[in-house]
Structures are given as C-alpha cells and as structure tokens.
Amino acid sequence: MKGHTHLLIGGAVGIPLAVIIPASAIPSSLPAFAISCALSGVAALLPDIDHERSTISTFLRRNLGGSKHSRGRHRGGTHSFFGTAIAGLLAGLAFHQLDPPLALPAAVIVALGYLSHLVADVISPYPMRWLWPFRRHPIRPRWIPAIPHSGFEGQLVELATIGVVLAIFVLAGAHWFA
C-alpha cells in the first residue's frame, strides 16, 4: 500500500484509542481525538523507513537532509512484532519526558498504529519477517491473497480501503462533534 493509505488506516486506528488518553492530560476532547489519530497515523508510516522511496523516508530526507541510501532489506526488522514493540517503547519514553500520564497511552497508540501497517502489508506478495530477530525467516500465510499494489487489483483494493477509511472518519467525526 502507498504511504497515504497507511497514514489513513493508521489514523483510523487512533479514533477509538482517543478514549485511553487521560482527560487530566488533555483538557478538551478535540485534541485527544486529533492527537490520537495523528500519533497512530504517523506510526503507521514508520515501518517503511527501511525503503528509500517510502513516504516517511522521503519526508525525513527533505526535512532533515541526507541522501538516498539503502537501509537494509525492505520488510525486514521494521516489519516485525519486535519493531512494533520498539516503536511503542520509544514513544512511551518520549512522551514520559513530555507528560508522564501520556506515556502509556502514547505507547499503545503508536504500537497499534504501527501494527496496522504490518496488517495492511499482508496482502502484498512479499513475505515479512514478523518474528525477527527470533526467527529471521520471512513468513507469508498462503491463505491470504497476494495482491501486488502496482496492478489493477491492487489499485482497486487501495481505492476501496481509502473510501472505507474516509467513511469511518466522517462517521467518527459526526459522532464526536454531535
């Protein structure tokens, strides 16, 4: 899937998770909703940091500089449960510095947003190293249909996903602001 689709899916994961952000940490409900979606959305971009042409790598290169270089095997350690846990842990530590009551909610939101990327990537024909570093062998369950994202089918799935996620955002927004 493309970066913006991962961003949208991850953002949608953040909608229900807004409830775990303590009201004491954030006074109004609007920022909690926005913060949760933003956190999980950005987290959903992170696994593709191992791909030089991904949305997150391009963004970092443009803003922080650096040149295009391979960061190792695509869909390696960043596409694993271990990578998910590390992302959650780092977010927890960072938010602990900012505001300790936000540490655990941020860790959970980032981990689940990150995980949404891995789940969305399962339809890709390429196997992922889910159990890295414990098992380096790439895994791809055969019962899941393999849909290359560049093909017609892949683009259809991508469009359908975007449509569904946007509908979820509209419904959630209507509910939230009602």
Q: How far is CA 11 from CA 16, 21, 111, 119, 126, in A?
A: 10, 15, 12, 14, 24
Stretch that binds Zn ion, among 17-25, 41-49, 135-143, 166-174 (CB under 5 A): 41-49
Stretch that binds Zn ion, among 14-22, 27-35, 40-48, 80-88 (CB under 5 A): 40-48
Q: Does 52 bind Zn ion (CB under 5 A)?
A: no
Contacts of 85 (CB under 8 A, 6+ apart): 111
The C-alpha angle 85, 173, 175, rounded to 5 degrees, equals 105
Taking the least distance from each CB to Zn ion, the nearer of 36 and 124 is 124
Q: Does 158 bind Zn ion (CB under 5 A)?
A: no
Give least dist CB 115 to Zn ion, A: 12
* Contact predicate 37/11, CB 8 Å: yes
Residue from 2, 121, 122, 146 binding Zn ion (CB under 5 A): 121
Count CA atoms closer than 13 A to 129's CA, side-chain side: 17
Q: Does 48 bind Zn ion (CB under 5 A)?
A: yes
Give least dist CB 51 to Zn ion, A: 7
Q: Which residues bind Zn ion (CB under 5 A)?
A: 47-48, 121
